[in-house]
């Protein structure tokens, strides 16, 4: 860059812009920071007025998130042997004993199983379809691609009506398999569109050289194209994972127990022990943190992912 350029903003402009953007970033991050802080407050601290910024950190929210508790009388409490673990101690201070684990662990595990299951399927099917769309002449290819995309325009509740009836007949309601298939069907449009873009960018010459060297088309696909597309496949997979992880509408309508994921469950925590905001905040923190980490890892491909590959930067 030359020392004088008409397109390079002046130092004053840079400072001004920088201060405004930092200000916005701090405001935007405040709700997230607040929820993470609330997870480490005691229930009384979490609802104090004025809101407490400085407080004594406590793990009570996390203990309450993972356990169910029952209140016992003072006499019964005195008769109990002293608490053996730190979390029992926290619970005892509120005149309660641990009754058992809460359902949060199971719901979180369901999110993991369904998230990874549907991501894996979407990526396998999506990569194959994207390769075919990228390399072969498929009749009506553009119409098919548009059709795949248009499946995203249905409101999820509208799709849920017939799926609800269909799953009821097939016995897929509230099952992991049912949810995995459903999320795969939703994710596949994103996977095909993104992966087609990534595969389009790999020069055809590589495969043609391999074909001439005696590879079959299939060998050329998995020995030449797949390794080249690895970064694209990885970032597409993360987008699919985040979608399944965050999905709420289908989950709340089609699951109730066995296969319920965390998003419909977290808001119900509040009902378990009255106004237990630290437990809700703890659940939200555990649930949102992985997505934040992935977002930071993905930042180079973020734009592409959220626009279905329409904007590639």
Partner 1 sequence: MSDTPLTKAAEATPPTVARKIRGLSDRAIAWIFVGPTIFLLLAINIFPLIWTINLSFTNYRANRTNRAVEYIGTRNYERILNDSDIWLSMQATAHFLIWTIIFQVLIGFTLAWLINRKFKGNDLWTTIIVLPMMLSPAVVGNFWTFLYQPQIGLFNYVIAFFTGADPSSFQMLGSVDLAPWSIVIVDTWMWTPFVMLICLAGLRSIPDYIYEAAEVDRASKLRQFFTITIPMVLPFLMLAVLFRGIENFKMFDLVVQLTGGGPGSTTEVASINLKREAFEKWRTGYASAFAIILFVTVFGLASIYVKALNKVKER
**Which residues inside 76-135 make contact with partner 1, applying CB under 8 A?**
125-126, 128-129, 131-133
Phi-psi region of 76 (alpha: psi -120 to 50; beta: other; left: phi over 0): alpha
Shortest gap between Cβ of 175 and partner 1 (angstroms)?
14
Q: Is residue 234 a contact residue for partner 1 (CB under 8 A)?
A: no
Shortest gap between Cβ of 190 and partner 1 (angstroms)?
12
d(CA 245, CA 107): 11
> Cα-flanking dihedrals φ and ψ of residue 39, to 5°?
-60, -25
Looking at the Cβ atoms of 126 and 232, the one nearer to partner 1 is 126
Q: Is residue 62 a contact residue for partner 1 (CB under 8 A)?
A: no
**Strand pairing of 96-101 and 67-71?**
antiparallel
Buried b or exposed e, range 164-178, using 16+ CB within 10 angstroms: eeebeeeebbbbbeb
**Which stretch in 32-40, 78-86, 99-107, 197-205 sits in contact with partner 1 by CB under 8 A?**
32-40
Site for partner 1 in 250-279 (CB under 8 A): 252-253, 262-264, 266-267, 277
Distances (CA, A) of 224 to 132, 191, 197, 209, 234: 15, 20, 17, 10, 16
**Which stretch in 74-82, 101-109, 227-235, 290-298 sits in contact with partner 1 by CB under 8 A?**
290-298
Q: Is residue 166 a contact residue for partner 1 (CB under 8 A)?
A: yes
Q: Is residue 7 a contact residue for partner 1 (CB under 8 A)?
A: yes
Shortest gap between Cβ of 127 and partner 1 (angstroms)?
9
Q: One symbol per residue from 187 to 226: x for binding partner 1 (CB under 8 A), - otherwise; what is it?
A: -x---x---------------x--xx-xxxxxx-------
Residue 41 DSSP symbol: S
Ranges of beta strands (E only) in the chain are 67-71, 96-101
CA Rg value for the chain: 26
Q: Is residue 13 a contact residue for partner 1 (CB under 8 A)?
A: yes
Among 104, 119, 287, 301, the residue binding partner 1 under the rule CB under 8 A is 287
Could you count the other beta carbons within 10 Å of the beta carbon of residue 92?
A: 17
Among 153, 203, 271, 274, the residue binding partner 1 under the rule CB under 8 A is 153
Among 99, 109, 154, 234, the residue binding partner 1 under the rule CB under 8 A is 154
């Amino acid at each position: 860059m030359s020392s004088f350029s008409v397109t390079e903003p002046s130092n004053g402009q840079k400072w001004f812009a920088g201060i405004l953007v930092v200000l916005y970033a701090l405001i935007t991050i405040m709700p997230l920071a607040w929820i993470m802080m609330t997870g480490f407050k005691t229930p009384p601290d979490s609802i104090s007025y004025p809101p407490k910024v400085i407080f004594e950190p406590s793990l009570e929210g996390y203990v309450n998130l993972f356990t169910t508790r029952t209140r016992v009388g003072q006499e019964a409490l005195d008769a109990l042997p002293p608490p053996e673990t730190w979390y029992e101690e926290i619970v005892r201070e509120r005149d309660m004993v641990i009754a058992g684990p809460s359902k949060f662990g199971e719901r979180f595990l369901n999110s993991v199983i369904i998230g990874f299951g549907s991501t894996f399927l979407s990526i396998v099917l999506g990569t194959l379809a994207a390769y075919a769309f990228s390399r072969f002449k498929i009749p009506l290819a553009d119409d098919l691609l548009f059709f795949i995309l248009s499946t995203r325009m249905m409101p999820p509740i509208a799709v849920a009506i017939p799926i609800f009836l269909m799953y009821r007949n097939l016995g897929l309601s509230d099952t992991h398999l049912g949810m995995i298939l459903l999320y795969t069907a939703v994710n596949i449009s994103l996977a095909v569109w993104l992966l087609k873009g990534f595969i389009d960018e790999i020069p055809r010459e590589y495969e043609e050289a391999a074909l001439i060297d005696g590879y079959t088309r299939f060998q050329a696909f998995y020995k030449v194209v797949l390794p080249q597309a690895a970064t694209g496949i990885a970032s597409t997979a993360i987008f699919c994972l985040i979608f399944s992880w965050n999905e709420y509408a289908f989950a709340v309508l089609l699951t109730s127990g066995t296969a319920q994921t965390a998003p419909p469950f977290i808001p119900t925590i509040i009902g378990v022990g009255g106004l237990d905001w630290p437990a809700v905040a703890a659940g939200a923190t555990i649930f949102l943190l992985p997505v934040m980490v992935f977002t930071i890892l993905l930042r180079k491909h973020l734009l592409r992912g959220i626009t279905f590959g329409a904007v590639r930067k």
